[in-house]
Structure formats: C-alpha cells, structure tokens
C-alpha cells in the first residue's frame, strides 16, 4: 500500500500513518517552494476524511488509527506551511541538521549582524524604534526566504543551511521584538 494512503484500497479501513515524510503525506514533491493555498486545500481535504469525529462509531482501534493519522497530518501541515520549519525539515531529510536553536552562530558575518540587530532592539526606547528594527528584520527575512528558494532549487544544501540558520535568527528577533514593543511606551 502506498505510504501516504490513509485508507486500505480494498476494505477502505483507516490505516496506521506509517513512516511517510510530510511531503509524501500531503502529496507533494520534496521542494521548498510550495503554494500555501494548495497545501491548505490538500490538508483540509485529508482532514475531512480522517478527522476522529468521523470514526466515533467505529472500533477503538479505528478511532486510535484515525487519531494517529490526524496527528501526523497536523504535523505535516504545520511544518509545510512555515517556511523556516519547511527548510529545516528539507535539510533534515537530506541528512543535515541545522542546529537551529538560535544560540550558536559560527558564521562571523551573521554573528555581527545578530549582535547589531539585538543591540538596536535593546536600545529601542519607543515603539517607533522597535518597529524600525522589526521592519528591517522582516525585510531581511523575506530576502532570506527568497534565497532559500534559490538554494533548494539549485540543490545547494550548504547555502540552504546557512540561510536557514539566518532565518532562524531573524524569526526569533521578530518574536522578541513583539515582546519588547509591549514593554516600551
């Protein structure tokens, strides 16, 4: 039976989720550039068929399998919808760990950029100053996502790893800036 097929083609019973990767589970090629609307449409299509409520009157085993399928489907959806999570996942599928914990930066240029932007955020004393840091970080993150698209299309995994680490840092900075904005008046 195909790895991504949630139902037995013969008896139509729900099957265990198996070891399919997130791309296979949702029926996509392993590529970085995915259309969010297409991912969402496919997810909701599968979710309608697999939602545990549809199995309320089935056996405990079928209810458990539908729950496992729905959980796997949710994980796949969340990963593929987030550009950073998708990049990390694609790299992991290629055997490359990003170490994307955001604490260790071994690229001197990225380290300098990180320190400068963190310093600018720390020094921001007004909402407008925080917004300026966020605006710069968002623009840089958008550029980084575009580079990731090119990196993966060219199968340049070393560049993809570097840009994924940078995007990890930028996303974290944007998140921290939201909290900082609440603390400045």
Question: Domain residue spans in the chain?
Answer: 22-81, 108-183
Domain 22-81 fold: Helix Hairpins (1.10.287)
Query: Is residue 1 pLDDT above 60, yes or no?
Result: no
| Chain mean position to CA 41 | 17
**pLDDT per residue as tens digits for the range 93-152:** 999 988 755 456 677 888 888 889 989 988 888 889 999 999 999 999 999 999 999 999
**Burial letters for 99-130: b for 16+ Cβ neighbours within 10 Å, e otherwise?**
ebeeeebeeeebeebbeebeebbeebeeeebb
**pLDDT per residue as tens digits for the range 49-80:** 888 888 888 889 888 988 888 899 999 999 99
Domain 108-183 fold: Monooxygenase (1.20.1280)
Sequence-distant (6+) residues with CB within 8 A of 152 are 31, 32, 33, 87, 90, 160
* Residues 127, 53: Cα–Cα separation, whole Å: 46
Q: What dihedral angle (degrees, nearest 10) is formed by the CA atoms of 26, 41, 90, 1? A: 10
**pLDDT per residue as tens digits for the range 156-174:** 999 999 999 999 999 999 9
* Residues 148, 33: Cα–Cα separation, whole Å: 9
């Amino acid at each position: 039976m195909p790895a991504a097929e949630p139902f037995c083609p013969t008896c139509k019973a729900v099957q265990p989720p198996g070891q399919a990767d997130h791309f296979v589970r949702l029926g996509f090629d392993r590529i970085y550039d995915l259309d969010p609307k297409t991912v969402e449409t496919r997810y909701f299509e599968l979710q309608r068929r697999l939602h545990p409520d549809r199995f309320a009157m089935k056996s405990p085993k079928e209810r458990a399998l539908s729950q496992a399928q729905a959980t796997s489907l949710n994980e796949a959806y969340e990963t593929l919808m987030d550009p950073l999570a998708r990049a990390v996942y694609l790299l992991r599928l290629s055997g490359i760990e990003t170490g994307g914990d955001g604490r260790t930066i071994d690229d001197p240029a990225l380290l300098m950029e990180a320190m400068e932007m963190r310093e600018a955020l720390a020094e921001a004393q007004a909402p407008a100053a925080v917004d300026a840091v966020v605006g710069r970080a968002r623009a840089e993150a958008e550029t980084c996502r575009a580079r990731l698209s090119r990196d993966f299309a060219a199968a340049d995994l070393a560049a993809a790893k570097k840009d994924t680490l940078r995007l990890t840092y930028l996303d974290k900075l944007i998140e921290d800036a939201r909290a900082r904005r609440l603390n400045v008046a």
